[in-house]
């Protein structure tokens, strides 16, 4: 029987000399500690202390989330090691490459590695999870401070844009292929031991695989990152607990981990398609959205964080969704989530199967279009599109992220209406309409009988539309009168366009 006086280690573990391995199961954990397991072999063949965990900021050491949830994640890793047989081809040490693979064979000289990482953090992901200055300084001072697996995954993305690496490997494709193959070779030794550095690495490897056209392997790598993130409880806000007594490095590492989770969630939404499942159910996510870049760089705890619509914090405090002080990263995550909702539903078969007319207030189209409209009209002024804002964000080297907000929002408004294109063509050219809906289903043709208010028809008289119509071009309330044909369903009321 393992007992303790409020603090680990327990008496039994202390007497056995195993204080560093002592763990106490939380309520609801499985009783795997009572399951049969073989005694560990000699220390030479099965070391008890595999080594330090590599962190995203470059230095060694664990990400110390000071709430009790972090030890629970650590216990889960220990149990997995107990249950998983480790063969000779798997290296149990954390952050090391596959046995027999020399680091110098995988990575170029430190100066070129630094070049590739610098290109990555300044150009590819302008909003990311790596604290740029700390990571680059740490890598410059100690080239071994970061995991070779993580570095290989970073370079598999940035190598083609790094002149020194292109010169070394002959051309951009060869540079990418070298690091991509090296990272793939390390996967078997990295995939069974969850850590923040490995989550980052598998996420980046999935991005690289997707860019190279290997979508199935990309989905598998992203799935590993998602599973590791859930094991480490990155979807729970309490994992990131820091207070005013926390050091600057603790605050930065906590924010880095938060950003890892949200980048995974966002990327899964960006890759969504018809009938693809959502990455993690929103009702299970209590993690709040990232802070701004200044707070991240200085290790400052923000006064307020935004929340993603549909998550428990947003349901409790809806104003967190539309906070005027939300940062650009939070806005980007929100619009990616909206795109995921659109992409998973925007398919013609959905309309054929649904008997709810699209202009009905209960239709999916109406709900999604209303959500897009409400979100857009509450954007912070600096996140709306204008040339002045574009120049400002370009000065902050965040213009690509800023443009992504506008691009994804406009694309969402287009794609959500695309299922009506065939009906529009059929109405304009009856002889060419071979794929119209069933007669009893709502169509553009029978919408014009004047008995149904059409989605997009304005409740205002011509010339009386509010300013918001100039912002989105969408009106959602039915007027009861005959709708304008075609353009209203695609663009909303076109009075002021």
Q: How far apart are CA 136 and CA 115, in angstroms?
A: 10
Predicted confidence at residue 5, as pLDDT, reads 52
Kindly indicate the confidence band of residue 230, based on its pLDDT and cuts at 50, 70 and 90. Answer: very high
Cα three-residue angle 173-178-184, rounded to 5 degrees: 120
Q: How far apart are CA 497 and CA 262, in angstroms?
A: 36
Contacts 24+ apart (CB under 8 A), 435-441: 437/351, 437/352, 438/352, 441/351, 441/352, 441/355
| Structure tokens given for 370 | 């209303």
DSSP secondary structure of 108-175: --HHHHHHHHHHIIIII-SS-SS-HHHHHHHHHH-TTSS-HHHHHHHHHHHGGG-HHHHHHHSSHHHH
Residue 455: CB atoms within 10 A of its CB come to 27
Distance, CA of 107 to chain centre? 27
Residue 129: CB atoms within 10 A of its CB come to 24
User: For 436-464, what is the mean pLDDT?
Assistant: 42
Mean pLDDT is lowest, of 216-230, 263-277, 354-368, for: 354-368
Kindly indicate the confidence band of residue 18, based on its pLDDT and cuts at 50, 70 and 90. Answer: confident
Kindly indicate the confidence band of residue 392, based on its pLDDT and cuts at 50, 70 and 90. Answer: very high
| Structure tokens given for 381 | 């002024």
Compare 471 and 395 and report the one with higher pLDDT: 395
Mean pLDDT is lowest, of 198-202, 218-222, 272-276, 486-490, for: 486-490
Mean pLDDT is lowest, of 37-41, 186-190, 215-219, for: 37-41
Mean pLDDT is lowest, of 128-142, 179-193, 213-227, 437-451, for: 437-451
Is the pLDDT at 61 greater than 90, yes or no?
no
Instruction: Judge whether 326 and 260 are in contact, CB under 8 Å.
Output: no
User: For 372-399, what is the mean pLDDT?
Assistant: 93
Buried b (16+ CB within 10 A) or exposed e, 415-428: ebbebbebbbbbbe
**SS3 track for 6-31:** CECCCHHHHHCCCHHHCCCCCCCCCC
Predicted confidence at residue 196, as pLDDT, reads 93
User: For 32-48, what is the mean pLDDT?
Assistant: 44
Kindly indicate the confidence band of residue 254, based on its pLDDT and cuts at 50, 70 and 90. Answer: very high
Across the chain, mean pLDDT equals: 74
Torsion on CA atoms 239, 243, 246, 248, rounded to nearest 10: 90
Question: pLDDT for 339-383, tens place per residue?
Answer: 998 888 776 555 555 666 666 787 777 888 899 999 999 999 999
Predicted confidence at residue 102, as pLDDT, reads 63
Q: How far apart are CA 337 and CA 343, in angstroms?
A: 10
Is the pLDDT at 27 greater than 70, yes or no?
no
DSSP secondary structure of 229-298: HHHTTTTSGGGG---TTS-HHHHHHHHHHHHHHHHHHHHHHHT--TTPPPSS-GGG--PPPP--HHHHHH
Instruction: Judge whether 160 and 175 are in contact, CB under 8 Å.
Output: yes
User: For 397-405, what is the mean pLDDT?
Assistant: 91
Predicted confidence at residue 360, as pLDDT, reads 73
DSSP state of 460: S
Q: How far apart are CA 407 and CA 292, in angstroms?
A: 21
Predicted confidence at residue 270, as pLDDT, reads 86
Question: pLDDT for 296-346, tens place per residue?
Answer: 999 999 999 999 999 999 999 999 999 999 999 999 999 999 999 888 877
Predicted confidence at residue 474, as pLDDT, reads 35
Kindly indicate the confidence band of residue 446, based on its pLDDT and cuts at 50, 70 and 90. Answer: very low
User: For 424-436, what is the mean pLDDT?
Assistant: 59
Is the pLDDT at 10 greater than 90, yes or no?
no
User: For 113-119, what is the mean pLDDT?
Assistant: 93
Instruction: Judge whether 128 and 174 are in contact, CB under 8 Å.
Output: no
| Structure tokens given for 245 | 């007594």
Predicted confidence at residue 30, as pLDDT, reads 54
Question: pLDDT for 169-182, tens place per residue?
Answer: 999 999 999 999 99
Predicted confidence at residue 208, as pLDDT, reads 93
Compare 404 and 18 and report the one with higher pLDDT: 404
Is the pLDDT at 448 greater than 80, yes or no?
no
User: What pTM did the predictor assign?
Assistant: 0.67
Collect all residues with Cβ–Cβ distance below 8 Å to 391 and sequence separation of at least 6. Answer: none
Torsion on CA atoms 229, 233, 236, 239, rounded to nearest 10: -110
Residue 113: CB atoms within 10 A of its CB come to 23
Q: Is the peptide bond before 139 cis (omega within 30 degrees of 0)?
A: no
Q: Would you tell me the crossing angle of helices 148-158 and 196-211 to the nearest 10 degrees? A: 30
């Amino acid at each position: 029987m393992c007992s303790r006086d409020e603090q680990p280690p327990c008496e039994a573990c202390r007497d056995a000399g195993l204080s560093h391995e002592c763990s106490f199961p939380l309520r609801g954990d499985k009783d795997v500690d009572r399951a049969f397991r073989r005694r560990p072999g000699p220390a030479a063949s099965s070391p008890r202390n595999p080594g330090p965990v590599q962190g995203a900021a470059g230095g060694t050491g664990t990400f110390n989330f000071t709430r009790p949830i972090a030890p629970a994640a650590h216990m889960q890793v220990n149990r997995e090691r107990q249950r998983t047989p480790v063969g000779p081809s798997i290296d149990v040490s954390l952050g090391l490459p596959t046995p027999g693979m020399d680091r110098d064979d995988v990575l170029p000289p430190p100066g070129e590695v630094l070049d590739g990482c610098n290109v990555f953090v300044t150009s590819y992901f302008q909003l990311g999870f790596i604290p740029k200055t700390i990571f680059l300084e740490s890598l410059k001072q100690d080239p071994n401070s970061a995991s070779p697996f993580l570095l290989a995954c970073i370079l598999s993305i940035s190598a083609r844009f790094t002149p020194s690496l292109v010169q070394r490997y002959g051309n951009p494709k060869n540079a990418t292929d070298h690091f991509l193959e090296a990272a793939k070779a390390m996967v078997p030794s990295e995939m069974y031991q969850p850590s923040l550095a490995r989550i980052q690495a598998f996420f980046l490897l999935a991005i690289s695989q997707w860019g190279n056209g290997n979508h199935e392997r990309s989905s598998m790598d992203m799935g590993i990152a998602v599973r590791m993130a859930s094991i480490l409880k990155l979807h729970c806000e309490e994992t990131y607990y820091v207070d005013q007594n926390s050091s600057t490095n603790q605050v930065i590492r906590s924010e880095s981990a938060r950003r890892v989770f949200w980048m995974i969630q966002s990327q899964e939404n960006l890759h969504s398609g018809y009938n693809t499942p959502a990455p993690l159910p929103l009702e299970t996510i209590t993690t709040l959205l990232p802070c701004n870049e200044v707070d991240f760089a200085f290790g400052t705890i923000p006064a307020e964080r935004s929340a993603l619509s549909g998550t428990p914090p947003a349901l409790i405090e809806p104003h967190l969704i539309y906070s005027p002080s939300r940062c650009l990263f939070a806005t980007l995550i929100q619009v990616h989530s909206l795109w995921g909702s659109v992409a998973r539903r925007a398919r013609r078969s959905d309309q054929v199967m649904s008997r709810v007319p699209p202009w009905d207030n209960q239709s999916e189209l109406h709900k999604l279009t209303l959500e897009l409209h409400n979100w857009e009209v509450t954007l912070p002024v600096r996140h709306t599109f204008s040339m002045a804002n574009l120049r400002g964000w370009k000065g902050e080297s965040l213009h690509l992220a800023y443009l992504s907000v506008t691009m994804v929002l406009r694309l969402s408004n287009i794609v959500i209406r695309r299922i009506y294109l065939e009906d529009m063509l059929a109405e304009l050219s009856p002889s060419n309409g071979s794929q119209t809906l069933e007669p009893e289903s709502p169509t553009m043709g029978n919408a014009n009988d004047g008995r149904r208010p059409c989605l997009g028809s304005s409740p205002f008289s011509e010339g009386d539309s509010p300013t918001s119509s100039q912002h989105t071009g969408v009106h959602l309330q039915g007027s009861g009168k005959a709708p304008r044909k075609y353009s209203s369903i695609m663009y909303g009321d076109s009075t002021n366009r």
